[in-house]
Chains A and B, each alone.
Chain A
């Protein structure tokens, strides 16, 4: 009897639990409230200039009194900067601000609304902005901070200790002095900490032609790709044709040139003056020593350390540098996009010990 009761109770409990679960199910089935397909944006790209382009379109629509190409915000939501800027209360601005000429303010500015400048813009040290769009050049003094984005149709220059927390872009070049922090930068030319020391003369005829397949443990994967299981050390001043995959760590000797793509899962150290005419990828840290060149893209799932005089990409062939953290020594240069997911910083040799805290 007890067993029967137990089974009956168990059955009733099971049915009750099932019915409870199916109650909302029944309602959602008979009276659907959530049937839309997941949104896939047809125009979605990773274009870094998205925000500045959007802002520019809004301003232009406002100025020409044309209907806005974008749904929001309304085109009337703009303020215009007065002629006498000294009397202006920047901090009180809540709506996007349009300045009809170049600006060179005498004091630090703190503005929480995006600013559109018809000309050049020069900010004094310790200024803070949410968004900046200039049709000329932008020059930010020491310790300035850009909260969301800044774009200059001419050059964009950040003096020492500036912080560009989100997106910095320029149609020509972005220059960051030492101790600047960044996340995403896009420009045909991006220079970190000024010019590098002069690159040593390269003796291309001294390179020795070599083959990956002669390396220890090499396995030919395809006509172009060679796989090496374990660590690999390429001697200095050699030239290799084809792509290389290393399951361990890779050391590329100084001056050595690789005409192909390179991947090493556990990290890469690229010797001074070495060249990779292709992509350089790793799941761990990539360290590129002075005056080495990478055509790109340069991708690490950990960190990238760019030495002085390192060049990534060329003005004719823009590329991408991407990692969780990027440390660029003064004198490094990139062409295209530099994207540090967590943080990027420009440092000068001797000022900090970069490898101590760099994983």
Chain B
């Protein structure tokens, strides 16, 4: 008898939930208070005497299932809150870039007693591009007697070594090669070894496919006159924008990431990120925070966070621009973003907690730094959110609010992306004065969805690496440029 009554109550509650979107617990309580009479409820409310919803009739969650559903709903709500926080962050950064005071404190330094600087060119099988980078560095207006150019030839198997040696013989004393034939693979490990050959306290790093302009070195070195600055980052600009749809979309993404995101964080005194190239570090600062780590896939993020944790600052200089190649093939792009994700998450695990409580950082810096650290954990989180939304939809069929949650989640992702939001990209492209390429903006959704699955897969792989104690492997990004004529 009792079980029949309880079943009746649950059916009434299910009808109420389906028809009115009221919380399950409320409906059960109301049904119990009214004696659980379906007929009475049907009289009171304009409900059909028999629900047409098959799920409501066929399955009523018991207490355990109800607890699980509630937990799912809570997790989904939290995920949506996180997404909204990121959306707000993107909005804030974009509005600051549009309307706020723009900080370029060291850009005006054009005359000074320039310090001795070592420029490293990270090169692994870079025969197509290394000559162009060397040529550009020899044309710089930085005082020659204060400049040491060190191509870091990391176990190249193509003709990179011969090309470097040829340039060394043509410009003796100006280029000092570092040929690395053994040791741990990867850019971080190569740079760690190369640091022993640095002269002076400032090291500027370029990838071999970069073509620095005449005044770029001075602009990147100038912030180091501030003794608080541990690392400096310039802006990278895709040079192969027009090759295909992917390069055009990456051009949009880069614009958002640098023109708006990095500059706004500089403006707001948050956490401008050192990006590992078109930038530099203060050697004494790096030594003071534990030296260069070669056990990471994102040595740039690693060094950024260790510097900040120990009271140093990072600086972004938006007008210090340099061309780079972006991936032209989706598999290359996916590999690249997977590497970034793994490296970034590695840093998050290592320093996230310490960062939250560092006494050297202001609250806005801590918050921004943590949000930045968490950015590559968002895609799997979003996937989980989608799965939860779908699950809740099917277990609460007819509940319109629950049904729309997945739409909300999709909109949230469309709004914020994993790195550069649509709004952010649009503003960045407008600031760059390239209005027409904005027409491609809706296609960024495609890129974001691909990134979503790539990053999620990367995170899964990272978890497996951890469980199975596998070493993470550095994947070099493919170069596309044809060998330059200087060779």
Contacts and interface: CB of A to CB of B under 8 A. Distances in A.
Contacts of A261: 225-227
Interface in B271-323: 284-285, 287-288, 310-312, 321-323
B311 A301 contact: no
Given A46-B215, A320-B112, A37 B311 contact: no
Interface stretch (B37-45, B235-243, B462-470): B235-243
Given A36-B242, A40-B237, A263 B228 contact: yes
A337 to B, nearest CB: 5
A260 B321 contact: no
A339 B106 CA distance: 11
Chain A interface residue count: which class?
35 or more
B284 A225 contact: yes
Contacts of B109: 297, 299, 320, 322
A221 B110 contact: no
A104 interface: no
Interface in A274-288: 278-279, 281, 283
Contacts of A171: none
A297 B112 contact: yes
Given A40-B323, A281-B226, A319-B113, A28 B436 contact: yes
A281 B112 CA distance: 14
Contacts of A35: 241-242, 248, 437
A322 B213 contact: no
Given A43-B214, A45-B110, A46-B110, A25 B225 contact: no
Contacts of B105: 281, 283, 299, 301, 322
Interface string B205-244: 0000001011100110010011110000000011111100
A288 to B, nearest CB: 17
7 contacts: A25-B441, A45-B218, A46-B107, A227-B228, A279-B227, A301-B103, A322-B105
Interface in A33-48: 33-38, 40-48
A18 B445 CA distance: 11
A261 B312 CA distance: 15
A350 interface: no
A48 B241 contact: no
A130 to B, nearest CB: 23
Interface in A14-65: 18, 21-22, 24-25, 27-29, 32-38, 40-48
A222 B442 contact: no
A86 interface: no
Counting from the closest, the 9 A-B pairs by CB-CB distance are: A35-B242, A45-B215, A322-B108, A34-B436, A243-B227, A28-B439, A279-B225, A336-B111, A222-B288
A296 interface: yes
Nearest to A25: B442
Nearest to A261: B227
A266 B437 CA distance: 42
Interface string B58-94: 0000000000000000000000000000000000000
A156 B65 CA distance: 86
Interface of A: 18, 21-22, 24-25, 27-29, 32-38, 40-48, 186, 219, 221-225, 227, 243-245, 260-263, 278-279, 281, 283, 295-297, 299, 301, 313, 317-320, 322, 336-337, 339, 341
Contacts of A278: 225
A285 to B, nearest CB: 14
A268 to B, nearest CB: 13
A38 B432 contact: yes
B440 interface: yes
Contacts of B218: 45-46
Contacts of A222: 284-285, 287-288
Given A28-B436, A28-B439, 8 more contacts: A29-B245, A38-B255, A38-B321, A42-B211, A45-B218, A260-B227, A281-B105, A337-B110
B111 A337 contact: yes
Contact of B436 (A33, A336, A337): A33
B113 A25 contact: no
A254 B237 CA distance: 48
A322 B311 CA distance: 25
Nearest to B284: A222
B442 A21 contact: yes
